[in-house]
Amino acid sequence: MSDPLRVGIAGLGTVGASVAQLLRQDAARLAQACGRDITIAAVCARDRGRDRGVDLGHARWYDDPAAMAASGDIDLVVELIGGEDGAARATVEAALGAGHHVVTANKALLAHHGVALARLAEKHAAGLYFEAAVAGGIPVIKALRESLAGNRISRVYGILNGTCNYILTRMEREGSDFSDVLADAQAKGYAEADPTFDIGGFDTAHKLAILTSLAFGTEIDLDSVYVEGITNIGPEDLAAADELGYRIKLLGVALVTETGIEQRVHPTMVAKRTPIAEIDGVTNAVAIDGHFVGEVMLVGPGAGGRATASAVVGDICDAARGIMVPPLRVPASELAPYQRAQMRAHEGGYYIRLSVYDRPGAFAAIAARMAEQGISLESIVQRAAHSPGSSEPKPVILITHETTEAQVREALDIIGADGHIERDPQMIRIEQA
Ligand code: HSE
C-alpha cells in the first residue's frame, strides 16, 4: 500500500463532523477502495471541547486554518469554513501554494475566485475538488467534468436550492403565504435565520455560475447571472399554475445561444408532466442536455451533513487514488472568456397575473396593448366572478407565446399607465423542461 493520505479538516460544523465520522467509521473500506489509508492528521475549529460524535484525539489541532493548510502535517485540506474571502480563501490559497490538494464545499469562494484558484492549483500540481459545492450529494460536478466529457453541452438547468423548493412545495400543498411557510421552515430549522441568500436566489446563482463554466468551458461569471428570488410568489400563482397544468420552481438555467451564454435564476413555470416538476421538498435536481447523450437528470439530496460529507469523501478518495483533472474541466488557461447573450425571445413565453379593474373594455384594451408590442397571447382568463356594479380589481391571468422580457415589461408599463391595473403585475417565465 502507498503512504497514507493525511487529511486536515478546516471547519468542524455539521458537515465537517460528518466527514470525520465517515472517514473514521469506514476507514478500512475506504483504504481498500483507494489503495491507501486516509487519516485525519489535523483539524481546525473554534471549539475544541465540543462532542462531534467522533474521536479526534489523535489529530493535531490548529487555531489557524491557513497554517494547517500549508503545514507539512497534511497532504490535503478539506475547507468547510465558508465565505468567499477571509479565512476560507486564505486556507485554500495556502494549501494550493504548498502543493497540497484541496477539497471544498464552498460555492461562494468558487463562484468568485474559481478561475484564479484553478490556475493556482494547476501551477502547483495540486488537486482542487469541489463536488460538494453544488447540489450537495448529487455528483453533478464529476458528471459534467468527466462522465459527459464526450458531449457538447447546450443547456444545464435545475433546482439547486432545497430551501426554496421546500417553501414552494409547502405553499402549493397548503395554499399558504410565502411568509407563513418561511417562518415555519425557520422554526423547524429547514431555513436559515437569515434566509436572504437562499430565498433571494443568490445561492442558486453561485451554484449555477460554477455549472456554467464546467458545461461550456468558459470562465466563471457570477455577475452575469440574472437573479430573481421567490419572495413575490403568492399562493394564487401556485393555484393558477396548477390549473393551467404547471408547477412553479426556482430554477437556475444556463444555455448557449447564438450570441453567447445566458444564465438566469428565477421562479419558473414547468409543465406538470416533466421530471423537474416532480421534484418536491428539499430535494435538488440537475438536468444536462448533451448533443450525443440527450438529456440526463440527476436527482438527490442537495444539502445536509451526510449528503455533503458524501460528496467531500468522494473527492478525498479521488485525491487518494491520484485522480487529478483540471478543476474546471479544461485547463484554466484554455477557458474561453465569458460572452453574455444578447436579449432574445424567451422560448417558453410568460405567465402574467394582473389585478385588473373590472370594467367593460379592460380585457380588450390589455389585449390590444399586448398586440401593439408584438406579443401573442395564448390565453387571457379572469379568475374571479364579475360583481355587477363593482369595479373592484380582479385577478386576470395572461399566458403569452414566445416573447422578450423587454417587450412584456414595455406592454405592462403602458397598460399600467392606461389605468386598467392595480399594483405591480406578476411575471413568471414558462420553461420548456
Ligand atoms: N442552503 C442551501 C439549500 C444548501 O437550501 O439548498 C447549501 O447550499
Least confident residue range of 247-256, 385-394, 422-431: 385-394
In this prediction, residue 307 carries a pLDDT of: 96
Residue 359 has pLDDT above 90, yes or no: no
Nearest to 207 by CA among 163, 169, 166: 163
Residue 389 has pLDDT above 90, yes or no: no
Task: State the residue for C-alpha cell 437569515.
Answer: 194
pLDDT above 80: residue 388: no
Quick check: CB of 160 below 6 Å from ligand 1? no
Query: Which CATH number describes the domain made up of 5-133?
Result: 3.40.50.720
Span 269-318, pLDDT tens digits: 999 989 999 999 999 999 999 999 999 999 999 989 999 999 999 999 99
Instruction: Please tell me which residue, 364 or 81, carries the higher pLDDT value.
Output: 81
Atom of ligand 1 nearest to the CA of 107: 8
pLDDT confidence of residue 390? 65
Q: Closest Cα partner for 427 from 404, 417, 281?
A: 404
Q: Which atom of ligand 1 is nearest to the CA of 197?
A: 1
Q: Does domain 350-431 have CATH number 3.30.70.260?
A: yes
Confidence of residue 68 (pLDDT cuts 50, 70, 90): very high
Average pLDDT, the chain: 94
Q: Closest ligand 1 atom, CA of 166?
A: 5
370/262 Cα distance (integer angstroms): 25
Average pLDDT estimate for 243-265: 96
Pocket of ligand 1 contains residue 203 by CB under 6 Å: yes
Pick from 130, 190, 203, 299 the residue to mutate for probing ligand 1's pocket: most ligand atoms within 8 Å of its CB: 203
CA of 135 to the centre of ligand 1 (A): 8
Distance (angstroms) between ligand 1 centre and the Cα of 304 equals: 8
Quick one: DSSP state of residue 381? Answer: E
- What are the residue boundaries of the structural domains of the chain, listed by start? 5-133, 140-301, 350-431
| Among 284, 288, 285, 334, residue whose Cα is nearest residue 147 | 288
Q: What is the mean pLDDT of residues 309-330?
A: 97
Q: Where do we find the cell 493535531? A: 60
Non-local (6+) Cβ contacts of 102 within 8 A are 69, 76, 77, 79, 92, 95, 96, 117, 121, 126, 127, 128, 129
Integer Cα distance of 399 and 245 in angstroms: 12
The amino acid at 134: V
Does the CB atom of residue 162 touch ligand 1 within 6 A? yes
Phi, psi of 423 (to 5 degrees): 60, 175
Active site residues: 207
CATH class of the region 140-301:
alpha beta
Nearest residue CA, atom 2 of ligand 1?
161
Does ligand 1 lie within 6 Å of residue 195's CB atom?
Answer: no
CA dihedral in degrees (219, 223, 226, 228; nearest 10)?
Answer: 130
Contacts (Cβ under 8 Å, ≥6 apart) of 198: 161, 163, 164, 191, 192
